[in-house]
């Protein structure tokens, strides 16, 4: 365990909080505390922002080569501390250790590598006649990240912010803060100049709100729920700062009539349950042709019952516990709502799996005969719960898919790629995935509607942290 769990990282050093406000970090597999962190206050935020503001005066003028060298050193240290990151994530959020290694910890490394590659190719200046259009760092940025993909979201913000020449204050989720502390140690060892990166732990209503409203913060990048995102935007409005948001989702997965139903449904169930269903872009609404609905339910039941639920320390575990008692209660209530509203319970249900009475474990759950308007069809559940909806025509499937306040992602399965592409173009979402492709770290990630604004990953993320300046007559 890191010796710095109760400290913050400010101005190049691990420091004590201004006020002692300890908070236990709960292991969701045992329901007991395994570490103690600290909750920050306005005073801690002010100190961190002041350090970032002072550092920005010079860091904004560092060369591209200097910042590239910093990112490359960060990658070297990250690779050395890779297992520490994986172990921290597995413990703090209940991620199965195999997944913590090959997905959670890898996400941080993968995004850093992609940012480095995109940064090398990025041109900051463009000549348009006598005008030079240049891209400059937006300034001091506040970064607020969630518990479900800790290092994925930390690196999606920190790496492009450094590449852009910004300085920053990070607030990781107070539910899963240990991996953030380990990351701060990585930053320190990599030799990132003091004040460029700062970390203050705490809650959203306190530290998050203080960052969003702070007059010396130029931009806030937030990932989390749509409800919390509206609070961030509201707090940021008075100072007219830029706000980038990656928020909730209720992603549709359209299985077209010509799709291989066994493959499409089985992979769809597994994709929905991935990360214990705790992903904002999970394909949680599966739309299948009405005439094959019963067949789809049988396939989904078989797939759900094959999923291995167990302790995060077991290398064979595919689904671990949910992150907290609050999340467990929410998922249980929504499973019960599905039953009460008349959907067909195909697999799973309320309660914990047999033999897993301790820990925030849930049964991998599938509902069939789901109708548009049911709570399980409308609300983001954030657990391993799949809603299968029958449709009569492709036009109806597209209409149902788009009938949501969210627009983060959507999925299309079909053998006729021309038809799949046509359907993809009709879907109102920021990311469309055709036939379960490999993860692309260079594709843009972000949402339409109440799923947010702005884009992350590679050069798209870099652009979010840049201002555009036009220097007219510069090239005359």
A 10 A CB-CB count for 63 gives 9
Q: CA triplet 261, 263, 265: central angle to 5 degrees?
A: 65
Q: CA triplet 101, 105, 108: central angle to 5 degrees?
A: 155
User: Is 156 designated active site?
Assistant: no
Name the residue with tokens 């729920």: 225
- Of residues 92, 185, 246, 380, which has the active-site annotation? 246
Token output for 312:
């995060």
Give the closest residue to 451 by CA, choosing from 430, 423, 426: 430
State whether residue 193 is helix, strand or coil: coil
Q: Give every strand in the sheet of 167-171, ordered side by side.
A: 13-15, 8-10, 197-199, 167-171, 140-144, 219-223, 242-246, 452-453
Listed in order, strand segments (DSSP E) in 110-238 are: 125-128, 131-137, 140-144, 167-171, 197-199, 219-223
Residue 90 CA to residue 179 CA, distance in Å, equals 9
Q: What is the per-residue DSSP string for 22-45?
A: EEEEEETTTTEEEEEEE---HHHH
Listed in order, strand segments (DSSP E) in 64-149 are: 125-128, 131-137, 140-144
- Of residues 156, 166, 272, 280, which has the active-site annotation? 280
Residue 70 CA to residue 55 CA, distance in Å, equals 15
State whether residue 184 is helix, strand or coil: helix
A 10 A CB-CB count for 329 gives 12
Provide the Cα torsion 455, 459, 464, 469; round to 10°.
-140
Contacts of 33 (CB under 8 A, 6+ apart): 24, 25, 26, 27
308 within 8 A of 275, measured Cβ to Cβ: no
A 10 A CB-CB count for 402 gives 16
User: Is 467 designated active site?
Assistant: no
Angle between helices 82-93 and 178-190 (to 10 degrees): 160
Question: Which residues form the catalytic set?
Answer: 246, 280
């Amino acid at each position: 365990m890191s010796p710095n769990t109760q400290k913050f990282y400010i101005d190049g050093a691990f420091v004590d909080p201004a006020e002692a406000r300890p908070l236990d970090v709960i292991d969701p597999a045992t329901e007991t505390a395994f570490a103690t962190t600290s909750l920050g206050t306005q005073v801690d935020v002010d100190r961190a922002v002041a350090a970032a503001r002072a550092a920005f005066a010079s860091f904004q003028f560092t060369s591209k080569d200097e910042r590239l060298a910093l990112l490359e050193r960060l990658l070297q240290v990250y690779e050395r501390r890779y297992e520490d990151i994986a172990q921290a994530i597995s413990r703090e959020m209940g991620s199965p250790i195999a997944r913590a290694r090959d997905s959670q910890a890898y996400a941080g490394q993968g995004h850093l590598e992609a940012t480095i590659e995109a940064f090398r190719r990025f041109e900051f200046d463009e000549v348009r006649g006598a005008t030079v259009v240049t891209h400059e760092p937006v300034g001091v940025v506040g970064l607020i990240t969630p518990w479900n993909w800790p290092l994925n979201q930390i690196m999606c913000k920190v790496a492009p912010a450094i590449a852009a020449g910004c300085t920053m204050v990070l607030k990781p989720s107070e539910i899963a803060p240990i991996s953030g502390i380990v990351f701060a140690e990585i930053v320190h060892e990599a030799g990132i100049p003091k004040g460029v990166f700062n970390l203050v732990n705490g809650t959203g209503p306190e530290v998050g709100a203080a960052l969003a409203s702070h007059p010396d913060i130029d931009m806030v990048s937030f990932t989390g729920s749509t409800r919390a995102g509206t609070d961030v935007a509201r707090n940021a409005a008075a100072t007219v700062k830029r706000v980038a948001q990656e928020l909730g989702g209720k992603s549709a997965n359209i299985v077209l009539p010509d799709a291989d139903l066994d493959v499409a449904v089985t992979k769809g169930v597994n994709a929905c349950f991935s990360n214990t269903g705790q992903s904002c872009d999970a394909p949680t609404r599966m739309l299948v042709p009405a005439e094959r609905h019963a067949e789809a339910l049988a396939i989904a039941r078989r797939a759900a019952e094959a999923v291995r639920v167990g302790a995060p320390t077991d290398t064979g575990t595919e689904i671990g516990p949910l992150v907290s008692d609050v999340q467990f209660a929410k998922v249980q209530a929504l499973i019960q709502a599905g039953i009460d509203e008349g959907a067909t319970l195909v697999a799973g249900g309320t309660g914990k799996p047999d033999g897993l009475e301790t820990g925030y474990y849930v049964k991998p759950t599938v509902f069939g005969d789901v109708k548009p308007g049911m709570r399980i069809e409308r609300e983001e559940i954030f657990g391993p719960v799949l809603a299968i909806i029958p449709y009569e025509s492709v036009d109806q499937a597209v209409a149902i898919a788009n009938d949501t306040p969210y627009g983060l992602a959507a999925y299309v399965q079909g053998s006729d790629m021309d038809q799949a592409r046509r359907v993809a173009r009709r879907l109102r979402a920021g990311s469309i995935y055709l036939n379960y492709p490999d993860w692309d770290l260079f594709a843009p990630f972000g949402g339409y509607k109440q799923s947010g604004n702005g884009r992350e990953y590679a050069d798209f993320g870099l652009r979010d942290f840049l201002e555009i300046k036009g220097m007219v007559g510069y090239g005359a």
